[in-house]
Amino acid sequence: MKIAVLNSGSSSLKYKLFLMPEGKEIESKLVEHIGEEGSLIVNHHDALDSLNLKYEDIDAFGHRVVHGGEVFSDATLVDERVVEVIRELIPLAPLHNGSNLEGILVVQDKTPSTPQVAVFDTAFHTTMPEEAYRYALPKEMYTKHQIRRYGFHGTSHSFVSKRAAKILNIPYDKVNLITLHLGNGASICAIENGKSIDTSMGFTPLEGLVMGSRSGDVDPAILLFMQRELGMSVSEVDTLLNKESGLIGLCAENDVRAILSSDSEDKVLAIKVMVRRIRKYIGAYMALLGHVDGIVFTGGIGENAVAIREMVMDSQLFASLEVLVIQTDEELEIANKVMKLVAKGDSHG
């Protein structure tokens, strides 16, 4: 069975084709600059056309969808209702769900009879208990406006935690892990008996760790100060927090390789701020879990930056933790989920 995986971002489209169940990657393509000034690729329709897919050879499509809200606790076959719900969730993830949905609709248009599956970044974290996902805000902010912590990077935390359980030879529903996805975006997850019980990203992927260009945790009063005292607009604050903060904000660079090879004061400090935040979260998650079977590093930084791993783990408290470095593969995890759902659909139909 051939499964195509699409990750439609606002200006890019990532595509991979897998032969399943072998999990063998047959093809991989990236279209960039969609809809940007001067680009020949005006929209996701053009982007998909430029991939020259042989639709008749593809048995199913899997789409990465960032926000599944409280509705989707697992991957789901796309139908009209699913399309509507993803659309309704756009306000919760304006940068992502719109373009994710665009990808689904374009494929539907090209090949209406091919099954499509949506795989949500939030789904893995729907097991969090209420005390983990509620903010200490007035109740109606949650009940009326859905303001709660959702968590993201779920596909990656799920993939590496399953691998880790296998390596440690512990049944997945018995394993306690702390998984660290450290890429340009970064999050950490506490997994108890194979279920996410807490994670550092919240209502949006902005909360938590120091990232390439995102601030992670800040005192929310700073945002009020920026607007009230510095006269910044909502969109200026949004851009500052998402695009101009994190490592970029601290040292004008977000490539950790470059930062590590420099001894400029700002760059050294940027790494210290990032590492300290990670260590605080690990300590907190150890307290929540009580017993930890392993700590997993993944993502571009987690997999490659040995120096960062050493700095993070340099604590007496962490000395007994088993450290695993596992390459994440979100596309393969999506293909696996698609295969399971499509196979199930076949057996019922």
Contact residues for ligand ADP, defined by CB under 6 A: 183-185, 212, 254-257, 299-301, 304-305
Closest CA to 155 of 84, 235, 229, 74: 74
Tell me the residue nearest to ligand ADP as measured from the CB: 300
Nearer to ligand ADP, 5 or 301 (CB): 301
Going 260 to 242 to 179 to 64, the CA torsion angle's sign is negative
Least separation in angstroms between residue 93's CB and ligand ADP is 16
Least separation in angstroms between residue 330's CB and ligand ADP is 9
Nearer to ligand ADP, 228 or 257 (CB): 257
Least separation in angstroms between residue 243's CB and ligand ADP is 14
Nearer to ligand ADP, 108 or 184 (CB): 184
Least separation in angstroms between residue 298's CB and ligand ADP is 8
Whether the Cβ atoms of residue 55 and residue 114 lie closer than 8 Å to each other: yes
Nearer to ligand ADP, 183 or 194 (CB): 183
Least separation in angstroms between residue 155's CB and ligand ADP is 12
Closest CA to 180 of 155, 157, 204: 157
CB contact burial 37-58 (16+ within 10 A = b; e otherwise): eeeebeebebbbeebebeeeeb
Strands of the chain, DSSP E: 2-8, 13-19, 24-31, 60-65, 76-77, 116-120, 177-182, 186-192, 195-199, 294-298, 323-325
| Single-letter amino acid code for the residue at 127 | T
Phi/psi-derived region of residue 69, left when phi > 0, alpha when psi is between -120 and 50, beta in every other case: left
CB atoms near residue 254 (< 10 Å) = 18
Nearer to ligand ADP, 256 or 286 (CB): 256
Catalytic residue at 346?
no
Rounded to whole angstroms, the Cα distance separating 216 from 210 reads 5
Closest CA to 242 of 277, 211, 269: 211
Least separation in angstroms between residue 212's CB and ligand ADP is 6
Nearer to ligand ADP, 201 or 289 (CB): 201
| Radius of gyration for the alpha carbons in the chain, expressed in angstroms and rounded | 20
The active-site residue, picked from 57, 121, 219, 329, is 121
State the catalytic residues.
121
